[in-house]
Structure 1
Amino acid sequence: MIEIHPIEMAGANPALRYAWPAADCTRIPYGMYRDPDVFALEQKRIFQGPVWNYLALEAEIPDGGDFRTIAVGDVPVIVNRSRDGTIHAFVNRCAHRGATVQRSTHGNTRAHVCCYHHWGYNLEGKLIGVPFQRGVDGKGGLPEDFDKSRHCLRPMRIATLNGVIFGTFSDATEPLEDFLDTPFVAQLKRLFNRPIKVLGYQRQRIRGNWKLYTDNLRDPNHGGLLHAFQVTFGIARLNQTGGAKLDRRGRHNMSWAAQEMGRDHSDQEYSTPRDASKIALRDATLLQYRKEFPDNYNLTIASIFPNCIFQQIGNTLAVRQIRTTSVDEFEIFWTFYGYEDDDQSMTDHRLRMSNLVGPAGLVSMEDGEAIEIVHRAIAADEDKHAFVEFGGRGPVGDSDTLITESPMRGFWMYYCELMGIVPGEAAHGAA
């Protein structure tokens, strides 16, 4: 049963202000991207709801005392490794007056201490120290019945798979492998098949709604159209071998392609906006895919509901975490990695190929701009709808083509379930 949260108590669920004319989510109300009340409800029902959120990689906190500060939706979180090797995550907000406790992005510590009044917490999130708890000279201080155990940092449940750390705030969340389902358990085991090493980070702030990014990730149709570099040099085209895989409920998606990078596509059904035959790279090694998996996939973009993406684009491997800031802004945090047994040549190659992605990536820099122009353009028509019919109507499932938006509809069907929306019904009236 879905809880009723404070934002709804004064009136109707804000998500029900908008009409959903199609039960299969082939029409998405623009208001779902622009309404701040809907955004606030998402934080409760989705990011703090019965889902597993990606937190970090175990390789980022290898030793006792190692920590990273992240965000789950708009909730600040600390994830760290205790001295006994166990992993814990908890809200980065002091139980005293609500200040941020750990302000460093990463590091190693014996305890997390709030700078405001110096309340201290151990690596399990338990309160271990309160200055002047008994006052001074018998004056002031806290009541005698003050119990430290009742003032801990709010914990998350933790689960890991092959060194990937997930967390949830809900006791109702199903086991991690059930949530991921067979195709995505297999994909994580494929990508994290041996010890990894972190190569670096990038951050990108996009002035648009976070769900426009999840739409983008579940829309392989745009890749061979929007990304001119990708098309020009044959990294990915819509007429190549590829498709999409979904979990049993359609909430997660993996867009994939299988071909040699740089392959000639003279049989393409459309032309690029320039004479691509006259364009060449000064250093063509940027496009060389070194086969390193037993399958033929050289491009996989696995989008896990609600907040992460595991990418393989050639030999560049990364995890992207979506961190929501407001209804109009979010951040993408990129973690690039390779394998511990990579030689220097492969590490250099992965770093070279990392230029394909990220905020200024040769094949991804357009995504942020596309999201921002959509977000601005729909502002005046929140009662209108996006048209989502590439790949057909009706139930969603796996696809053997990249020209599809079915994975996008799968995301929205599960989103509606969590948000208490019944697609196909008219708006229920304003809150």
Structure 2
Amino acid sequence: MTVSNRMKWPENADHTAVPYYVFHDQDIYNREQDKIYNGPAWHFVALEAELLQLGSFKSTYIGDTPVVVTRGQDNEIYAWVNRCAHRGAEVCRHRHGVSEDGTFTCVYHQWAYDAKGDLRGVPFQRGLAGKGGYPKDFDKTQHGLRKVKVVSYCGAIFGTFSDATPDIETYMGEDVSLFFKRIMNRPVEVLGTTRQYIKGNWKFYAENSKDPYHASLLHLFHATFGLYRSSQEGATLINNDFHTVLWAKSGEEDEAALEDVKKDKLRTYQAGTYTLNDPSLLVGQQEFDDGISLVILTLFPSLVLQQIQNTLAVRQILPKGKDEFELVWTYFGYTDDSEELRNIRLKQLNLIGPAGLISMEDGESTELCHKAIVSDGDRTNVILMSGSETQSEGHLVTESAVRGLWKGYRKMMDL
């Protein structure tokens, strides 16, 4: 696939000016499926906690390719493309479930596959009454489902189609793997799942989750009740260009920075103006010795792993074409949580998700951006907060991670 002249990155724009056509161009979207989703990247597909039983499965996607993740009768994890080798029909038609006998049968012509994706049964293979049937040299081992290479890392399962994908820790980078292991430090249990469709390009959300300072400006609840402000102690960590960790400590604020916030009279800083009828929503427990109360970890292109107060979740970004994506939230706690802590997590789930008190604006802002740039593909945005570099920084008033996203994206896409 070649890149047209129109797709060339603007000269001298580096990573501070992104052309809007990358969010709307169909050729760009097609190239992403080739270079990113079928390229040397790891894609989050499931938590092991979603596949506890032998024979359990989960249907999901890598890019726009449907895949199924399974736990075989041998207790190993497998994944394969959810497309029958016979005529291309969807094999597994359920999001979650358990195959008691470990097989998956296509409803169209009943070709049957095992948990590994190997073909096990073909109706009428030898015909009926000496008529019809497949050639004598028909070999079922040559007609299995397309396999996905998988790895389980700290209870999270990742898949890739490429043999060139580096090992998972090398792909993540040192800081990202450290914080990943910090959150996924012991076995987890799934508390629930929500799904939302957002009418915007998936890369707008990828930008959003790498942008630490928007949360002080967009999210009134965040800033007003002190869950997160850019004046808090925190950092922006970048590994391998487009994998990031944003962390902050609530209650640990730079007083001079907080005074600047007050002087600016920000719309989203309304401390003392609003109160909660149920203050227990924000009463939690300190779970980590480092005192960090917020972590937004992103692993390009499909995963956001978060800790916000006592809410723990993975967010899976699934593109549904160039103009829409699905965001799947899977909330979890630890299997050894006390009943009190589990109840805290369940109550604080009101903070996040499609209608979450501190996250509902992200979907709206994505759609606002997507609608506004439809006719201006050759124009560019401005990503200059805290300069033009892409290095890690010991504060939260920066767009360095967003610039890193586009630096890595251009490399992978060869733009």
Which amino acid is 1:385 matched to?
T
Q: Which residue of 1 aligns with 2:203?
A: 211
1:387 counterpart = 2:379: no
Paired residues in the alignment total 409
Q: Give 2:370's aligned residue.
A: 375
> What aligned pairs does 1:336-351 form with structure 2 within 5 A after superposition?
336-351=331-346
Is 1:47 the counterpart of 2:41 in the alignment?
no
1:161-191 CA distance string (max 9 Å, x none)? 1111111100011111111111121112111
The match for 1:363 is 358
In structure 1, the partner of 2:272 is 277
Percent sequence identity is 43
| Mapped pair 1:100 → 2:90 | yes
- Greater length-normalized contact order (CA 8 Å, ≥ 6 residues apart): 1
3-state SS in 1 of match to 2:28: helix
- Supply the distance in 2 between the matched residues of 1:367 and 1:296 (Cα, whole angstroms): 26
Contact 1:19 1:383 in 2 (8 A): no
Equivalent of residue 152 in structure 2, options 139, 143, 160? 160
Give the letter for the 1:79 counterpart: V
Asked if residue 259 in structure 1 is aligned to residue 221 in structure 2, the reply is: no
Alignment partners' CA distance in 2, 1:49 and 1:91 = 15
Q: Is the 8 A contact 1:161 1:188 kept in 2?
A: no
1:250 aligns with 2:241: yes
Q: How does 1:207-356 map to 2 (within 5 A)?
A: 207-247=199-239, 249-260=240-251, 267=259, 268-269=261-262, 270-273=264-267, 276-356=271-351
For the Cα contact (< 8 Å) 1:261–1:288, is it kept in 2?
no
Q: Deviation digits for residues 281-340 of structure 1, max 9, x if unmatched?
A: 011121224111121210000010111000000000000001110000000011100011
Q: Which residue of 1 aligns with 2:413?
A: 419
Unaligned 5+ segments in structure 1 are 1-7, 422-431
The two structures have a TM-score, normalised by structure 2, of 0.95
Partner of 2:396: 402
Matched, 1:17 2:7: yes
Note the C-alpha offset of 1:44.
Answer: 1.1
Cα deviation, 1:94-131, whole Å, max 9, x if unaligned, reads: 00111110011111102111111111000110000111
How far apart are residue 24 of structure 1 and its match? 3.1
Q: For residue 175 of structure 2, what is the aligned residue in structure 1?
A: 183
Give deviations 1:10-34, integer Å, cap 9, x for gaps: xx32586243234531110100000
Report the CA distance between 1:135 and its aligned residue.
1.4
Does 2:137 align with 1:145? yes
Code of the residue aligned with 2:265 in structure 1: it is S
Partner amino acid for 2:166? E
What is the root-mean-square deviation in Å for CA atoms of aligned residues?
Answer: 1.8
CA–CA separation in structure 2 for the residues paired with 1:261 and 1:357: 22
Contact 2:233 2:253 in 1 (8 A): no
Q: Which of 7, 22, 29 matches 2:19?
A: 29
Structure 2 counterpart of 1:129: 121
1:57 aligned residue: 47
1:197 aligns with 2:189: yes
Amino acid at match of 2:377: E
TM-score by length of 1: 0.92
Q: Is the 8 A contact 1:286 1:352 kept in 2?
A: yes
- Contact in 2 for aligned 1:18/1:383 (Cα 8 Å): no
User: What is the alpha-carbon distance in structure 1 between the residues aligned to residue 20 and residue 270 of structure 2?
Assistant: 37
